[in-house]
Amino acid sequence: MEFYIKWASGDPEQGSRDGFGGDLFKYNYWVEGYNPITGQKSWLVPAREYLKAHIAHWLEYYRVDGLRLDSVNNIANYDFLQEFKDFARTLWDKRGGSGDRFLVVGEELSVPLSLIQQNRLDGLWNEKFKQIIRQVILGKNAWDEPSFEWSIRKLIDCRNLGFTDGSQAVNYITSHDVGGYGNERFFSYLVSNGIADTEPRIKLAFVSLLTSVGIPMILAGDEFADQQDLATTDDHKQIDPVNYSRVKDDWRQRIFQYVARLVRLRKTSHALAVNDTKFIHVDFNEGKRVLVWQRGNKADQLVVVVANFSDYGTPPASEYRVPNWPATPVGKQWKEITQERIVPSEWVGREGIFPWEAKVYALV
């Protein structure tokens, strides 16, 4: 068909596109014909109208409220991406949907921000979050960042990576592409890097994910530290099913409940629904890597995270002081979310810390 690329034929639309075993549409092949959506005769690109007809079906019959476009670099046509996004949004609007309740995001591991800057898509998968969290959780800087502090700043606030709003970045610890070293399930990644005590680091990673600016995404099974049962190769990716029986393990159940508490906070906290993020304390003295960030823009609805990315722990019965702790408004108190406990007023900003641990405090 003239609507598909003929491989190695010199077709100018082939370029470096990869069909991964399938056919690639031609998004700039114009013909005169009947538009399948309007029924009118006009000049059109068959592949574009074919895909727009499909999304119209999904919106009308299945009421989808968002789209994730895989491997957008292999579409290789920014004009069509915007046309597709705008068409889907128009249908959503006609059905009475609210514009802020619909997103069209793309997956491309190089994170081409121009797709957002040019209004081609609403957002992108933030592969850089995954890359950074997998370095800092080992006590290392991000690959392209000489500063550990700025590795964390970029991790927690996607605006430091070039995004302008949290709705533009889908953050994740692991994606469905678990093939190849560095991409495997998070528990397996830690084990392959010689980490024996994985529980605290998994919890720390989830605190980072669920208190960061952006849209959090969790690969099924990571919330209870499921592991890779097949070889970490592209041949076996996406065919290793989640083993839900593992959630019964005591330590995995602890992780599962820990993540559940963080998810409940994420769903209800105003502070985590806005972009506002401020780092109020950093401590790299004597081998420590402790960072404290504040989320929110309302004095009575703040969230504060104390995160320790090091082996340091305060001695028994001692304290760790965080200067610049925000004031406690009248009638409010601080609650540590991961342990579901109210913090006595005399201990606010002074609680001890443990190695590779985070505490999440919210005003209640």
- Whole-number pLDDT of residue 21: 79
pLDDT at 22: 84
Give the whole-angstrom CA distance, residue 197 versus residue 175. Answer: 23
| Torsion, CA 278, CA 284, CA 287, CA 293, rounded to 10 | -10
What are the respective helix, strand and coil percentages of the chain, to the nearest 5?
A: 35, 15, 50
What's the CA gap between 112 and 125, in Å, rounded?
10
Contacts of 2 by beta carbon, 8 Å cutoff, 6+ apart: 26, 29, 31
Task: Give the pLDDT confidence score for residue 315 in this predicted structure.
Answer: 94
The predicted pLDDT at position 1 comes to 54
Which residue, 335, 218, 200, is CA-closest to 269? Answer: 335
pLDDT at 84: 97
* Spatial separation of the C-alpha atoms in residues 172 and 206, rounded to whole Å: 9
Q: How far apart are the first and last CA of the chain?
A: 63
Cα–Cα distance between 129 and 157 in angstroms, integer?
A: 10
Distance set, CA 43 to CA 2, 5, 46 (Å): 15, 20, 9
Instruction: Determine contact, residues 326/292, Cβ cutoff 8 Å.
Output: no
Distance CA 328, CA 348 (A): 9
CB 282 within 8 A of CB 340: no
**Would you state the pLDDT for residue 12?**
87
Q: How far apart are CA 86 and CA 93, in angstroms?
A: 10
Q: Which residues pair with 303 in a beta bridge?
A: 295, 362
What is the C-alpha to C-alpha distance for residues 343 and 319, in angstroms, rounded to an integer? 14
Q: What is the pLDDT of residue 30?
A: 93
Ranges of residues in the chain whose predicted pLDDT is under 50? none
Q: How many Å separate Cα 52 from the centre of its chain?
A: 27
Three-class secondary structure of residue 265 per DSSP: helix
Cβ atoms of 359 and 349 within 8 Å: the answer is no
Q: What is the pLDDT of residue 231?
A: 83
Query: What pLDDT is stored for residue 126 in this prediction?
Result: 98
For each of the domains in the chain, give its residue range(s) and CATH number, in order of start: 31-271 (3.20.20.80), 275-363 (2.60.40.1180)
What pLDDT score was predicted for residue 18? Answer: 87
Q: Where are the alpha helices (DSSP H) in the chain?
A: 46-62, 78-94, 114-117, 127-136, 148-156, 186-192, 198-210, 250-268
Residue with tokens 């991961």: 338
In DSSP notation, 298-331 reads: STTS-EEEEEE-SS--PPTT-----TTPPP--TT
Locate 343 and state its tokens.
């913090």
* Cα gap 218→224, rounded to integer Å: 11
pLDDT at 236 (0 to 100) = 67
